[in-house]
Chains A and B, each alone.
Chain A
Amino acid sequence: MRRWFWWFLLVPQGFLLVGLLEDLGLPPLDMAVLSSLYLSWFAQRSALPFLLLGVAIGRTLVDEATLPIHILVTGIPIALLLPLRTMFVAQRWLWQAVAAALLAIAIPKLSGLFGRAFDQPSVSSILNGWQVVWSALLIPPLLSVLRFLPPFVGFTESADQKKVVAR
């Protein structure tokens, strides 16, 4: 229960923190890309729906679209990347960088698509080339650290769990 408390307390604030760091001059990163990659390839599958909810709530703080739009925008790439987890058991950084870049492209595009479809356009639908580059470069090393820190560590899939699924 405690791990859920920390997830819902800290992850939404992570979106604000990333904005603050960007204001301070750090490279532009999308917290949604980082969390989506973590959820796709590292998080426990059984916990995914509510982990996704926490990420979507965080994105609602920084983007004008409504919560269900953010569930779809972050949830669909996760659902697509999730089956690839078994193929990339080694979780090499190269694949993580490729996946992060793909997510940094897919998430704004999906924001634009759902924004048009449900009449909720938002500023995050604009693709930022630098964000794609920085996501590919920074997210794999960041995840290698973050997944062993709270609140991520409570949901990181253990090696045993991975084997059960991979078998």
Chain B
Amino acid sequence: MATKTKSKPAGKKGDTLQGVSPETAMMLMKEMLLYRRFEEKAEEAYAIGKIGGFCHLHIGQEAAAAGSIKPLRTDDYVISAYREHTQAIAKGIKPNAIMAELFGRADGCSGGKGGSMHLFDTSVGFMGGHGIVGAQVPLASGMAWTAHYNETDQVVICYMGDAAVNQGAFHEAMNMSAVWNLPAIYVVENNGYGMGTAFSRVSRTEIHEKSSAYGIPVSIINGQDVLETYNTFSDLIAKVRKGAGPQFVDLRTYRFKGHSMSDPVSGTYRSKEEVDGKVEQEDPIRSLKQAMMDAGKLTQDQLDEMDAEARKVAQDAFDFADASPLPDDVMLYTDVYADINPNGRLFFDGRERPGFAR
């Protein structure tokens, strides 16, 4: 039941690129450049100690974010794991607020209390940022349940890495989504490795086979091709919005950097040659550039201008984050509970909690 999405041949001069309008293609290029420059800036900030903890970069996988999220509406939900910076930008969180969150500052989108792995902004439907592999999958089903319960036409996209399909949470959520026909698209960003373990070493079946037990249709998409990704997701989202029920996507992509900032790019689990080859041949930005230039829809000047703008936004985000204050000490104690019950003790650390809001 796998339906391989066939790319229309690129490179022909015409009004569209694989059915995508030149304006949209330009927007996708702009987005991907921003993601790339933002992540490079985060990498730089991490190296000089501005960002702590874990930091998982999305470099190489930009098309997966832009192509799938851009066709969504603001009131649709996106939920992800912890390699989610660029998805958060794509869904509409301001780069400044994301960088400030990475820096652990008060102006961060989670007030500095979440960090790289827990970016949230409910006003644009970005629902995190979750740190336990696979745990976001049933949460996504619950968000889709709400849409179904309230009879809205909202759609939920849930991202996970390929390793998540070996978690029970994934299988339980897939089954329930199918049983209740929930409006969710489950997307495996299949970069071939769960941290340092090649997927082929931990599964006898392929990613695209994983939804067949639940009767959920699968699409295999070249996630390095933003036009194909955008096209296919536009169709999938429209279908789900009309009640087609859950969908599964094997979005084939490649991570150009290490698992996290503290991990090597290559060496122990994948060769330098493999990574270099992918970077050389499957960079989604370079591929789009080629397609657009071949079609006469992009000039080098335009590209340079967009890239300069992306670099500026990334630098501005860095400067904004760096200037943002640390969260006030009192924030340590806020938002543990929504209701501080008037009776009884809720906290047992023996500390004073002077006048915090909630």
Same complex origin of A and B:
no
B residues sitting closer than 8 Å to A (CB atoms) are none
A residues sitting closer than 8 Å to B (CB atoms) are none
